[in-house]
Amino acid sequence: MNIFYDENMPFAQEFFTDLGNLHSFSGRELQAEDIKDADVLLVRSITQVNAALLAQAQQLKFVGTATIGTDHIDQAYLKQQGIAFYSAPGCNAISVAEYVLSALVVLAERYLINLSTLTVGIVGAGNTGSRLAEKLSALDITYKLCDPLLEAKQGNANNDTRKYYPLDEVLKCDVISLHVPKTMEGEHRTFKLLNEQRLSALQNEQILISACRGEVIDNDALLRLKEQGHGVKLVLDVWQGEPNVLEPLVPFTEIATAHIAGYSLEGKARGSEMLYQALCNELKIAAKHHLTDFLPAANISSIEITQQFDQIVLNQIVKMVYDVRRDDAIFRQQLSEQGFDTIRKTYPVRREFSSVSVSLSKNAYSDVPHRLGFTKTSN
């Protein structure tokens, strides 16, 4: 069995080597000729899987994307061809939530903001929005959810009792964090969800964070707004038209990164693991490997907190594990010369909070770090 996989899938060789012959590829450069002998195709979000790409793949039986989003996959075509398809919902949700939290910590320090006074509007309450809500709850930060699709399903035995708010109300929150898929049609389409009209209604003191899909915000309208002197603070991880970034917009951002919010080692590796499990299930064989078999220890593996837990300590422990300013600096320095895809391909290893054990003295006792996802030190 020939298994073709994106070279940026961590531990792909470790997971899949027992199942067939492995062939790596560059996701943006993949052509139909390259995968004509593929039985299994494993991609990430930069590869458009459609009839054109699969035109010569006559023996293909399984396609998987190691990502939450699936807008790059022509699922109707795969179903028509009888090709099994799997994605990795929720694989990098924690990573994205921690990206947002790192951004909030950085901006709170930069502008002397008391995080506890903020109200955060979460647009999209699926896996990622839910993980962010959990971290905000740990910090007693008020949030409002907007997700009309999930709201419509309430009461249908899905045990979702959360309160949802209209989009216009959520867009009035101090912070707006976008976590929706890209959808091009339907009553609740997300393509240019934040259009010129909605962007113009934002207030100068608000913070807008986009870590989902670039097309959810009209980038040209956003640039015009900023050029007119609007003070909304921008954290942009995704860009309309990737990998081609609207570069004049970059100087107007507080934090700018190359679609790496979900790029923690754990987040990417969970995608590999989920596809491995799906392929084993498809082949009707037992899965032998688990992510814990391959994850290395973090460079900083333990932290002891001996003082009262407050926003200063939060700032320190979050940035000790992941300081988003590193990725912002890389983006600004390398975008023009190296390019968007190269930044993603050469992304430095980043770990999640769970890779670090936190111990608390009696003076510092608080369950907040553990509720945020840091591992509790065993006694």
Tokens read off for 178: 């976008």
Q: In whole angstroms, give the CA distance from residue 177 to residue 99.
A: 11
Q: Which residues contact 56 (CB under 8 A, 6 or more apart)?
A: 32, 33, 35, 36
Tokens read off for 208: 């807008």
Q: Which of 131, 213, 344, 350 is catalytic?
A: 213
**Strand 357-360 versus strand 21-25 pairing type:** unpaired
72 is catalytic: no
- The candidate with the shortest Cα–Cα distance to 188, out of 216, 160, 230, is 216
242 is catalytic: yes
CA torsion angle 149 151 154 159 (round to 10) = 100
Q: Which of 242, 282, 325, 332 is catalytic?
A: 242
In sequence order, which ranges of the chain are alpha helices (DSSP H)?
A: 12-16, 75-81, 93-111, 127-138, 148-153, 167-170, 196-200, 219-227, 265-283, 311-321, 324-338, 340-345, 368-372
Which residue type occupies 363? N
Q: Calculate the alpha carbon distances from 19 to 37, 154, 218, 311 in Å.
A: 16, 41, 44, 48
CA atoms within 13 A of residue 91's CA, in its CB half-sphere: 29
If 0-12 CB within 10 Å is exposed, 13-18 middle and 19+ buried, where does residue 172 land? Answer: middle
How many residues appear in the chain? 379
Q: Which residues contact 272 (CB under 8 A, 6 or more apart)?
A: 9, 10, 11, 12, 15, 66, 291
213 is catalytic: yes
Q: What is the DSSP letter of 7?
A: T
Q: Which residues contact 254 (CB under 8 A, 6 or more apart)?
A: 103, 106, 107, 110, 207, 233, 234, 235
Q: Which of 131, 259, 344, 351 is catalytic?
A: 259
Q: In whole angstroms, give the CA distance from residue 212 to residue 321.
A: 22
Residues serving a catalytic function are: 213, 242, 259
